[in-house]
């Protein structure tokens, strides 16, 4: 029986959905799956998930403190010890940016086990430094296959010298069924007026001051027919954003409900009219998946790694330059002034995102795993 171990930093709702689906596929073929998370808590993501409902074998290395509070020697020791005990036949490792993930890769190399890289990185996310590029090329040579979000992520690895036919898409998925319109439309209306929705951490790269400035200009243009803006999330920039809302006299039309767990977010997804994502840097942007799964048209910054795969211009939504205020203002006016058929666009978004589901993740992951095993067995025959 082949035993596959998948290592993530921290389990959020979409990790659990992916691994549940992967577990079902593994069971069908007689494989065993174990999911490992480095720590139950991580500063950047205050997820609350119910681990008692998962269907796969799982292991949390650090339960009593956050990942940031844990020393690398302690984490590395626990990870190495866990892998020694489990003795997996194959590892799937989320990235190589953390030293702990490199420890997993070293374990695989020393124990002669194939490794699959899980990657969301695009060319826009990285430094052009030659030395860094050389290091990445060396690290990539230690993996037998890669599992990525979509086209730009695949292109990035191929440009680093990773063979094109060993890079498989399908990594960037969420639990679409949670956001399905038929499941959430009965949830209460939290606002009486139509609104744009944005869901972010309040950090610099999310470009939220730009969004507020664009929204202010849009309201000036649209007048009384302007939609509201709901900005869900929290973070260190919240005081700055609150001050900006006050200075722009937007307190009656911009709503800041704070950081919400997934169940509390669903009513906002259920009754929004359009989703907006303005990041200046984003490896993918899974919140765009969520919005499309809720049947929403999307306006997405072209700096997001998901744009090429998810945004079909004028069909599922529109992309824009996150430094071009007038472009976003024009798109906000376009969708709110009934210049596009929102219902048709939302339905197209919903149909398109069906290709990016937990089942897609499971199928792609196993394609990568099968290839890696085959390559490794050939190499060491």
pLDDT in tens, 33-49: 999 999 988 877 777 77
Q: Bigger pLDDT: 94 or 338?
A: 94
Residue 48: per-residue pLDDT: 75
Q: How high is the pLDDT of residue 166? A: 94
Looking at residue 51, its pLDDT comes to 79
pLDDT for position 40: 87
Contacts of 291 (CB under 8 A, 6+ apart): 179, 197, 199, 269, 272, 275, 277, 298, 349
Closest CA to 232 of 241, 243, 223, 240: 241
Q: Please give the pLDDT value at position 209.
A: 98
> What's the rounded mean pLDDT across residues 336-341?
85
For the domain bounded by 3-173+357-379, which CATH number is listed? 3.40.50.2000
Query: What predicted TM-score, i.e. pTM, was given to this entire model?
Result: 0.93
Q: How high is the mean pLDDT of the chain?
A: 93
pLDDT of residue 142: 92
Mean pLDDT for 360-365 is 97
Torsion, Cα 74 76 80 85, to 10 degrees, reads 40
Query: What are the pLDDT digits (tens) for 300-310?
Result: 999 999 999 99
Planar angle of CA 151, 154, 158, nearest 5 degrees: 135
The pLDDT assigned to 135 comes to 85
Q: What is the pLDDT of residues 224-235, one digit of tens each?
A: 899 999 999 999
Domains 3-173+357-379 and 177-353 share a fold: yes
Percent of the chain topping pLDDT 70: 97
* Per-residue pLDDT band at 50 (split at 50, 70, 90): confident
pLDDT by residue (tens digit) across 95-148? 988 999 999 999 999 999 999 999 999 887 666 666 677 888 888 989 999 999
Query: Which residue in the block uniquely carries the two structure tokens 């990870």?
Result: 79
Q: What is the pLDDT of residues 254-277, one digit of tens each?
A: 999 999 999 999 999 999 999 999
- At residue 65 the predicted structure's pLDDT band, cuts being 50, 70 and 90, is confident
| Alpha helices per DSSP H over the chain | 13-28, 72-86, 99-110, 130-140, 151-159, 176-179, 181-184, 208-222, 238-247, 262-271, 286-293, 307-310, 325-336, 342-353, 358-379
Q: What is the structure's pLDDT at 42?
A: 80
Asked if 240 and 203 touch (Cβ cutoff 8 Å), the reply is no
Percentage of the chain with pLDDT > 90? 82
Residue 191 reports pLDDT greater than 90 = yes
Q: Where are the domains of the chain?
A: 3-173+357-379, 177-353
The answer regarding whether domain 177-353 maps to CATH 3.40.50.2000 reads yes
């Amino acid at each position: 029986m082949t035993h596959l171990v998948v290592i993530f930093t921290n389990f959020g709702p979409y990790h659990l959905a992916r691994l549940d689906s992967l577990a079902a596929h593994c069971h069908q073929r007689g494989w065993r799956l174990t999911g490992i998370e480095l720590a139950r808590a991580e500063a950047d993501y205050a997820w609350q998930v119910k681990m008692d409902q998962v269907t796969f074998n799982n292991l949390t290395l650090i339960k009593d403190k956050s990942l940031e509070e844990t020393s690398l020697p302690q984490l590395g020791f626990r990870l190495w010890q866990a892998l020694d005990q489990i003795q997996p036949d194959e590892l799937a490792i989320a990235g190589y940016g953390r030293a702990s993930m490199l420890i997993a890769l070293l374990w695989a190399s020393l124990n002669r086990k194939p490794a699959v890289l899980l990657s969301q990185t695009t060319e826009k996310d990285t430094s052009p430094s030659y030395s860094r590029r050389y290091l990445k090329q060396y690290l990539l040579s230690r993996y037998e296959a890669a599992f990525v979000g979509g086209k730009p992520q695949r292109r990035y690895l191929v440009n680093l010298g990773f063979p094109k036919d060993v890079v498989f898409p399908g990594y960037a998925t969420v639990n679409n069924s949670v956001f399905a319109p038929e499941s959430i439309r009965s949830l209460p209306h939290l606002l009486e007026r139509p609104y744009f929705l944005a869901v972010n951490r309040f950090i610099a790269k999310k470009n939220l001051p730009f969004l507020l400035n664009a929204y202010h200009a849009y309201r000036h243009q649209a007048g009384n027919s302007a939609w509201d803006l709901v900005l869900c999330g929290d973070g260190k920039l919240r005081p700055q954003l609150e001050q900006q809302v006050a200075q722009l006299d937007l307190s009656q039309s911009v709503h800041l409900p704070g950081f919400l767990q997934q169940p509390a977010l669903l009513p906002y997804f259920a009754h929004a009219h359009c989703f907006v994502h303005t990041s200046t840097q984003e490896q993918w942007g899974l919140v765009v998946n969520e919005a499309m799964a809720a049947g929403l048209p999307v306006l997405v910054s072209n700096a997001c790694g998901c744009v090429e795969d998810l945004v079909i211009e004028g069909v599922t939504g529109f992309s824009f330059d996150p430094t071009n205020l007038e472009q976003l203002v024009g798109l906000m006016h376009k969708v709110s002034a009934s210049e596009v058929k929102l219902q048709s666009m939302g339905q197209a978004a919903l149909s398109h995102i069906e290709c990016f589901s937990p089942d897609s993740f499971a199928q792609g992951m196993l394609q990568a795993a099968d290839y890696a095993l085959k390559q490794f067995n050939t190499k060491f025959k």
